[in-house]
Structure 1
Amino acid sequence: MNIGERLKEERVRLGFNQAEFAAFAGVAKTSQFNYEKGERSPDADYLAAVSAQGVDILYVVTGERKRQAADSISDDASELLQVYEQVVDADRQILLRMASAFASTADSSGKKVSN
């Protein structure tokens, strides 16, 4: 996967279309399209602007996700992590499958999707 593909992946993950992404990054929609196609490379100003919108720049550039500091996660997530670490390995796998099932029934805003 190249920089353009990872950039597109991040844009989609955050729920933006190309025009919205281009607007807050201060570039034309055609520039955004060219970045995602791998025909052009974004500059540092662009990367700083999209970083402010939540893009994981380390991932876009290197393909490696940046680790989140423990103090940057919500209290609910921290509590869930503490419970997870207290269960045996077999039960952890069950918890992961359950969490994945719940996540797959939610849209990008976290609202349940009706079938």
Structure 2
Amino acid sequence: MSKSAFTLKILYSEGDAEVLASQAAEMQTAGHHVDTAVGRKGVEDAMRRDAFDLVVLGPTLSRNDRHHLPYMVKKAHEGTRVLVMHADGGRHPCVDANTDTGQSMDVLIEKIASLMTEAAVSAK
């Protein structure tokens, strides 16, 4: 996995702490600063403490959490991008990008880079 051209401050959340630890380590090898949060409460607490460039909501979160957390993230910090793993982002107004179930971490890292490139271009 290559280093990203962008160094982002990412909040990554899963419902399963073991999955969270292993996947967060992979994101960090791409050159990003990654904070982690277990479950909805963890995301809410992290968003109260700090701001992030991107929030990644993983597939081990409940479907309900993957639906409601994007609203909560945007309400807390409007400019924060939201990427939901295992979701149809086209139907959710607060989701900036999504990945399909079972895609590799490399695909996720590429999706993050693409999302942030789009944000940089639209900011010009």
Question: Do both share a fold (TM > 0.5)?
Answer: no
More strand by share: 2
More helix by share: 1
TM-score between the two structures when normalised by the length of structure 1: 0.26
TM-score between the two structures when normalised by the length of structure 2: 0.25
**Greater radius of gyration (CA):** 1
